[in-house]
Amino acid sequence: MLETINQATQYSLQTHQVDSQPEVKKNSSLSSKAYSFVTNARVLRQNGEYNLALNLLRQACNMQAHEIIFKEIAKTLILKKSWIEARKITTEWHKSFPTFESSFVKAQVEYEIGLDDQSLQTYFECLSYVVDEKIELFDIFKNIGNIYVRKSDFESAEEFYNKAYSFNGDSDILYVNYGILEMQRGDLNKAKDRFRTALHINPENDKAWTSLAMVHFEFGDEDLGSANIKKALDINPVNKTAISFCYQKMNQKKYAHYMIEALQNFLDSGEFDEDVSCMLVQKLHETGQIQLAMIECTRLVLWNPLKDEYFELMNQLQRVAL
């Protein structure tokens, strides 16, 4: 039960991206050349050319340390998932331009990295800037609640979830987080109700389906839990938590074909993942598909040639194939 809950806690927490396009006007205090760099960088970013966009934005920043340029660099680094660099630039942005927005984005980046104490402090700093109701308050309160769940301070977590609820009572994401809170408290029936409410609001929430599966597996209902996992992976084939539960809980022979297909779909749909690749090698080995297991193991060796375990695994497969 504890392992399930810990996975659920890490899995559930979601964050808000930087708002879409900060406004840049020709009559802003940006110089004409910096303005040109920023607008061209946006075009590049919209086409996925993050590195080229960053080159232009850094040139613009060298010309003029402007809030808009800091904001654009931060947004590009976040989209690129360069979290360490994003933290550096958001720290500098907030130091130079201490506003609600700079503190909010800084807190979001710290939250994403897992710096709970720092992000909690910065979220509270965000609140000190608020003079009216802001749409970001929902995310601030929700994420503060998530941090308190990770700290096992369940009363504070519920307090901030309730504050988030006052801004958006129809959030399926928030109901999933409420459900995780109840799992941490050990109230599986209440958690199940929360997850079902999330799915009533948004039937396409794959995290809600996965969380509901966790509850059913804890109740010993393998068939319903497996059906929930399948639904989650239908919606999002790269849901790693769903894949992990599929591997752990759906280990009966009747699920072998489905599991192999789900693992292959995960690896085909997203970035290469060593853990999932290892699961696939193991499952192919268990079902006697040694040649396919060796092909997948070769990918592991090429991906991480410094890991001796992969060479040993390949040797084992070769011995079986003889």
148-157: per-residue pLDDT in tens?
A: 999 999 999 9
Our CA angle for 170, 175, 177, nearest 5°, is: 140
More confident residue, 32 or 266: 266
Compute CA distances 313 → 217, 224, 300, 301, 319, whole Å. Answer: 31, 34, 10, 10, 10
Asked if residues 237 and 265 have their Cβ atoms less than 8 Å apart, the reply is yes
Q: Over pLDDT 70: what percentage of the chain?
A: 91
Q: Which amino acid is at 256?
A: A
pLDDT at position 31, please? 85
Average pLDDT of span 85-97: 94
More confident residue, 215 or 30: 215
Phi-psi label, residue 142: left if phi above 0, alpha if psi -120 to 50, beta otherwise:
alpha
d(CA 220, CA 26): 63
Average pLDDT of span 221-233: 95
Asked if residues 1 and 219 have their Cβ atoms less than 8 Å apart, the reply is no
| Res. 4: pLDDT tops 50 | no
Domains of the chain plus CATH, in order, are 251-322 (1.25.40)
Tokens at residue 100, please? 């609600």
Compute CA distances 3 → 6, 7, 8, 74, 248, whole Å. Answer: 5, 6, 9, 35, 12
Indicate the SS3 state at residue 322.
coil
pTM value?
Answer: 0.79
Instruction: Say which range, 44-48, 107-111, 197-201, has the weakest mean pLDDT.
Output: 44-48
pLDDT at position 131, please? 66
How long, in residues, is the chain?
A: 322
Average pLDDT of span 61-74: 91
More confident residue, 176 or 19: 176
| Res. 15: pLDDT tops 50 | no
| Res. 90: pLDDT tops 70 | yes
255-314: per-residue pLDDT in tens?
A: 999 999 999 999 998 778 999 999 999 999 999 999 999 999 999 999 999 999 999 999
| Res. 74: pLDDT tops 60 | yes
Q: How many CB atoms lie within 10 A of CB 62?
A: 11
Phi-psi label, residue 149: left if phi above 0, alpha if psi -120 to 50, beta otherwise:
alpha
Gyration radius (Cα) of the chain, Å? 23
d(CA 322, CA 58): 57
239-253: per-residue pLDDT in tens?
A: 999 999 999 999 888
